[in-house]
Structure formats: C-alpha cells, structure tokens
Amino acid sequence: MILFLDFDGVLHEDPCYDEARLFVRAPDLAQALEPFAEVRIVLSTSWRTQRTLDEMSQPLPPALRQRIIDATPLVAPSETPAALRPYRRHAECACWLQRHGHDGTPWFALDDRPSLFAPHCEQLVLCESNVGFVDATARRLQAALLRGRFRHRQPVGAAA
C-alpha cells in the first residue's frame, strides 16, 4: 500500500512557528504504521519543491524514513486527468501511481487540505491543521489501511 504524506498540518501544526515543534507528530505516525509493514510512503508535501528526498527524510524517525520510496511529481495540467485538474495534490498522487505502475495498488493520503483532493475522496485521511496527526487521526488511518489490506487481498472477481 502507498501512503502519500504531507508534513505541514500533519506531522506538526500549521502554521508551526517553533522549529523545535517541527515533526513532533512523526513518532505517533510511525507507531500507527507499525502493524502495517506493507505500507510505503511517498512524500506529497509542498516541501518537495525546495528540498531533496534525502533532506526531507532526515528529520523523520528511522521507522518512517525506511518506508519512504519517493516524492510526488509536480504535474502540468496537460498531464492531469480533466476530473482532477482542480485538485492538485490528488492529481499528483494519481500521476505518481500511474507513472510507477501502481494503478491497482491501494493508496491513502494523509493531509490537512481537503481542497487539494476531489470531494468525497475515500483515500483522504484528514488531519486538523492546528494539531496535526493525533489519536483520532491514527484510528482513522489504521481503519483505512485495514480496508486497503482487505481489498488488496481479495481474489479478482470477488465482491468487495
């Protein structure tokens, strides 16, 4: 499974004025992902426009860092399916999945900006910007990952 991960409003509050609070919620995410060894992380944060993958990974705990496989691309409108053009981050996730041959792979996005995703996007696990990833979010993420795990293991043609 793929987890598209935003930083601001997820791994720390947004805005975060105290550098010491950056990534304060990262250990909580690492703990929530422990039962899901199959989850790989693709960074979808806006930080990717100014930092390399290695620079973005460094402040994260090793348990998260080892799961990171890539970052989403910046996509031009011409590369974006028409239905997703108004939803930039959703389009970037879809583009990454398509480019890397993961069209059928269960995926989820951990983000605090619902406007960047199509309305009623089932894959979006929403955080509250002012607090980030908290226990309630962890429970919603784990429930989503369990659904993804179940759907992925069903035989072709089985009812969902």
Predicted confidence (pLDDT) per residue in 10-56, tens digit? 999 999 999 999 999 999 999 999 999 999 999 999 999 999 999 99
Mean pLDDT of the chain: 93
Residue 92: partners with Cβ closer than 8 Å, 6 or more residues away: 44, 72, 73, 74, 75
Confidence at residue 79, expressed as pLDDT on a 0 to 100 scale:
85
Confidence at residue 151, expressed as pLDDT on a 0 to 100 scale:
82
Rounded average pLDDT over 109-123: 97
Q: Assess whether pLDDT exceeds 50 at residue 104.
A: yes
Residue 5: count of CB within 10 angstroms of its CB:
26
Q: Determine the length of the chain.
A: 160
Q: List the single range of 14-23, 79-88, 93-102 with lowest mean pLDDT.
A: 79-88
Give the separation between CA 121 and CA 107, rounded to whole angstroms: 11
Give the separation between CA 115 and CA 146, rounded to whole angstroms: 25
CATH topology of domain 2-153: Rossmann fold (3.40.50)
Confidence at residue 154, expressed as pLDDT on a 0 to 100 scale:
55
Rounded average pLDDT over 102-114: 96
DSSP 42: E
User: What are the tokens at 125?
Assistant: 């696990």
Confidence at residue 75, expressed as pLDDT on a 0 to 100 scale:
87
Domain ranges of the chain: 2-153
Predicted confidence (pLDDT) per residue in 118-133, tens digit? 999 999 999 999 999 9
In DSSP terms, which residues pair with 42 in a beta bridge?
4, 70
Q: What is the pTM of this model?
A: 0.92
